[in-house]
Structure 1
Amino acid sequence: MRIPYAPTEPANPTPENQAIYERIRERRNPRPLIPLDLALLHNPEIADGYSKLMGAIRTRSSLSLALAELAICYIAVLNDATYEWTAHAPLALKAGAKREALEAVLEGEVTNMDVLSEDERMVLAFTEQSTKSVKVDDELFEKIKARFSDQEVMELTITIAGYNMVSRFLVALNVTESNGKKMEMPQ
């Protein structure tokens, strides 16, 4: 990493900081703190807010988890965020994404009608436009609105925005020294 990781225990062990570390550990349970946490914990308040937001995006959304994970994986591909890909590709498969769909995402073949469903292609197009140009064109947005509820549209949008934040953080700081490593399909 381009800066040292924060310690696994608070450098300033105030009750507030101890509580933040504990909340983040609880969210990761049964795993220990991950390198991303240790990068963020240079500022426990920011780490706490990040953890709460991303935890809600991952676990409190009504959007199909398989679609959300495909979007997250495509963000990783678009932003060359190998660590994000490595973390989320297995989660996409576990959530029910087809291996062929995930392979298409890895190869950037997100319009492949033989492999990807219409919903997957729409979500990936939305992900690409939001990630690369920030703006989503009206025609695509109307298709998304016609297919998904207002809540799901919001959840898709915040998922894409949130994981773009994550990928930019991971790449800029080279968390886990993954920059430049090849993205590979999980076993």
Structure 2
Amino acid sequence: MAIESRLTPLDESRMAPEQRRVLEAILSGPRGNLDGPFLAWIHSPALADHAQRLGAFCRYGTRLETRLTELAILFTASWWQSQAEWQIHEPIAREAGVTEAVIEALRAGQEPAFARDDEALVYRLGQALYTTRRVDAPLYAEAVAAFGEPAVVELVGVLGYYALVAMTLNVFEVRRGTAPLPFAEP
């Protein structure tokens, strides 16, 4: 799928060796493309290298079910109104089992009516963190009881990493193809 941005287009003949090394690592990894923030990050190979490894863990390696990871990602995309992040992860979330009703409520910036307690908990934790920049003791205890402490650490990592992704995509106006944008542009 064609990706557009306000960045200077990459010219493989002018890439530094470090850029080529990181590009190869990204293309040979589980993603297999420069979709999303990697189009920007490859302009800073050191950032791209560290971020792509963290991103691979956050997306593919946490203790959370893919459904919950993708819910956290969609929540973040909605919070930041990140067009490309939403376009990339909305079909993945649907395939992972996030319902259409939850997806549409998130896209509209509304609190979903969750049928599953674990999804409501991921949403409440993300909402608390993004709104107050904290998670109070009762919510923290509930999350640890439900997911375990290591998974809560990883969930916070997912929320933080995908906030970085959203900011990157928004600043550099990364767009995927010609599909209608999920969020109104400011």
TM superposition score normalised by structure 2: 0.84
Q: Tell me if structure 2 keeps the 8 A contact 1:131–1:164.
A: no
**Aligned twin of 2:157:** 158
Structure 1 outlier segments of 4+, above 6 Å: none
- The aligned residue for residue 140 of structure 2 is 141
State how far apart, in whole Å, the 2-side matches of 1:132 and 1:10 are. 45
Return the alpha-carbon distance in structure 1 between the equivalents of residues 88 and 69 of structure 2: 14
**Quick check: 59-68 or 169-178, which moved more?**
169-178
Is the contact made by 2:75 and 2:106 (CA closer than 8 Å) also made in structure 1? yes
Taking structure 1 as reference, are residues 5 and 132 closer, same or farther at Cα in structure 2, changes over 3 Å only? farther
Give the distance between the partners of 2:8 and 2:149, measured in 1 at CA.
42
1:6 is matched with which residue?
Answer: 10
Unmatched 5+ stretches in structure 1: none
Which runs of no fewer than 5 residues in structure 2 stay unpaired?
A: none
Judged with a 3 Å threshold, the aligned counterparts in structure 2 of structure 1 residues 133 and 177 are, in CA distance, closer, same or farther, namely farther
Matched residue pairs, number? 177
Shift of 1:62: 1.4
Rounded to whole Å, the distance in 1 between the matches of 2:145 and 2:13 is 48
Report the Cα distance in structure 1 between the residues aligned to 2:162 and 2:168, rounded to whole angstroms: 10
Is the 1:35–1:175 Cα contact (8 Å) retained in structure 2? yes
TM-score by length of 1: 0.84
The answer on 1:101 being equivalent to 2:102 is yes
Instruction: Please tell me the residue identity of whatever aligns with 2:14.
Output: A
The Cα of 1:106 is off from its aligned counterpart by 2.0
Counterpart CA distance in 1 for 2:111 and 2:97 is 17
2:129 partner letter: S
Question: 1:93 deviation in Å?
Answer: 1.0
| Structure 1 equivalent of residue 20 of structure 2 | 18
Backbone CA RMSD of aligned residues: 2.3
* Percent identity of paired positions between Structure 1 and Structure 2: 26
